Amino acid sequence: MTHPHSKNLLSSVQMASFVATGAFRMDAVVPAEMNREAIDVLKAGIPGVPYGTPLSEAFVDSEFVQRLVQLPEVAGAIHSFVGPEPTVDHHAVHIRKANQGEAQNLHGDAIIDVRPDAFDVQLMYYPQEVTLEMGGTLSVPGSHLRKTNESDTGRYQNLLGQTRFTCPAGTVVFLHHGIWHGGRRNDSDIDRYMFKIRFNPTVRQVRLWNIEDLYDEQVAAELGQLFPWYENATGRLEIYNRVKLWQAITGDDTFDPDYWVTRVTNRPQRVVAQRTVNPHAKKELT
Amino acid sequence: MTTASAEQTVAGQTVRQQVLVLYLASSALDSRTVGWSTYDGTGATSPTTGDSDVPPYASGLDALKDGWRLFQAAQLLPPQPGHEYDVSFLKHEFFFERLVQV
């Protein structure tokens, strides 16, 4: 695949928003004619791909998916998150049938994944308009750095400030691998379709986006967001962990606008209080 | 195999348990609600994931005032050494119940 034009890469502010929220949405980015085609393509099924297949080889049997991931904005986002030539972990067509009576438990995909300096992303493509009644995916902004395993979070039904996803047709969302999410109950008369692809990086994820605005004030503002469901104390730890991730993906370990990391890692080694000036130090007997 | 029903009666009335779980912003019962779940032992309703954006009570105390009985509160546990900065499950979990006549 060719390198995306820089205008299609994410900005630093957008990347910082992703690091804070664990999600990035591109409304109606897929053209209407592709969306019209999509339902039949998804109904027919997308051929399976062995785990770890390079993206350029993964969809040789699915011209539709090739076109999807090569849309300039989509390709730019993929590159910004995971770099050139990622591998396809897996893909799946998710269908929530009309009036389907059950929601999924809140969960993180795969298994607990606590990599501090790398992440996978999941592309989710919604070919139809998704309304609240259609049970769009539930996700929890800023949950992606929580160290929990799969559906152990199933007890949590609702969190303040959660996203009950609705969107226009042709929307693509990228989610960090750790985000808490679940398919909501479809209370409408319309079957809901979603196609997802999980990408694994094959390069170090450092400054893969457009870094012209790396030190824009809005970067720090994005990274400093607190979400309504955060507990008072743990919310501060969220900022700490977010700053650590931003330091990892920018390669700049001095970035710490609110001093959360610097303060608790400050362990000076220079000793100025000499034992010889300590009046309580025993004198050696001669 | 048949299972005997665990019939619950209070003053001769058949009752069932409704459970409310509130997640609060701190360990104080009167702190603000940040998450919530409900389970209905009567079977009359079927609360589920992502079914509401508005908490049923603004705080744990408000739930008490409305008649819910607290029966479990999360313990306060120090972080494990080396994991002081980890974030994981919600810490301040409070279980309430009320018995409803059926």
Return the residue of A nearest to B52 by Cα.
Answer: A158
- Whether B80 and chain A come into contact, CB under 8 Å, resolves to no
Q: Please count the structural domains in chain A.
A: 1
pLDDT score, position B5: 57
Q: What is the mean pLDDT of residues A63-70?
A: 98
Residue B7 has pLDDT above 50, yes or no: yes
Partner residue opposite B87 with nearest CB, options A135, A159, A234: A234
pLDDT score, position A286: 63
Does A157 sit within 8 Å of B47, measured CB to CB? yes
Reported as a pLDDT band with limits 50, 70 and 90, residue A272 is confident
Q: What is the mean pLDDT of residues A103-131?
A: 96
pLDDT score, position B6: 62
Task: Work out the minimum CA distance from B42 to partner chain A, whole angstroms.
Answer: 18
pLDDT tens-digit readout, A144-165: 999 999 999 999 999 999 999 9
Reported as a pLDDT band with limits 50, 70 and 90, residue A72 is very high
Residue A54 has pLDDT above 60, yes or no: yes
Q: Which H/E stretch holds residue A138?
A: strand A138-139
Picking from B33, B34, B52 by the largest number of A CB atoms within 10 A of its own CB, the best residue to mutate is B34
Partner residue opposite A158 with nearest CB, options B36, B89, B92: B36
Q: What is the mean pLDDT of residues A225-249?
A: 98
Mean pLDDT score across all residues of chain A: 95
Whose structure tokens read 């699915």? A62
pLDDT score, position A2: 74
The residue segments making up the domain with residue A98 are 1-286
Residue A132 has pLDDT above 80, yes or no: yes
Q: What is the CATH number of the domain that holds A83?
A: 2.60.120.620
Return the residue of B nearest to A146 by Cα.
Answer: B88
Residue B1 has pLDDT above 50, yes or no: no
Residue A136 has pLDDT above 90, yes or no: no
- Whether B56 and chain A come into contact, CB under 8 Å, resolves to no
pLDDT score, position A243: 97
pLDDT tens-digit readout, B18-74: 999 999 999 999 999 999 999 999 999 999 999 999 999 999 999 999 999 999 999
Contacts of A182 in chain B (CB under 8 A): 49-50
In 3D space, the residue among A143, A110, A148 whose CA is nearest the CA of residue B88 turns out to be A148
Handedness of CA A217, A218, A221, A223 (dihedral sign): negative
- Using CA atoms, how far residue A251 sits from A22, A128, A261, B6, B76, in Å, is 19, 39, 15, 61, 36
Residue B4 has pLDDT above 60, yes or no: no
**What is the spatial distance between Cα A154 and Cα A142, in angstroms, rounded to a whole number?**
17
Partner residue opposite A238 with nearest CB, options B38, B48, B87: B87
Per-residue DSSP letter, A6:
G
Residue B95 has pLDDT above 90, yes or no: yes
pTM (2 d.p.):
0.93
Question: Residue B12: left (phi > 0), alpha (psi -120 to 50), or beta?
Answer: left
DSSP H helices in chain A: 12-21, 32-44, 55-58, 63-70, 72-82, 217-223, 232-250, 260-265
Reported as a pLDDT band with limits 50, 70 and 90, residue A195 is very high
In 3D space, the residue among A76, A68, A85 whose CA is nearest the CA of residue A15 turns out to be A76
Q: Which two tokens stand for residue A175?
A: 């989610």
Picking from A231, A247, A264 by the largest number of B CB atoms within 10 A of its own CB, the best residue to mutate is A231
pLDDT tens-digit readout, A172-193: 999 999 999 998 889 999 999 9
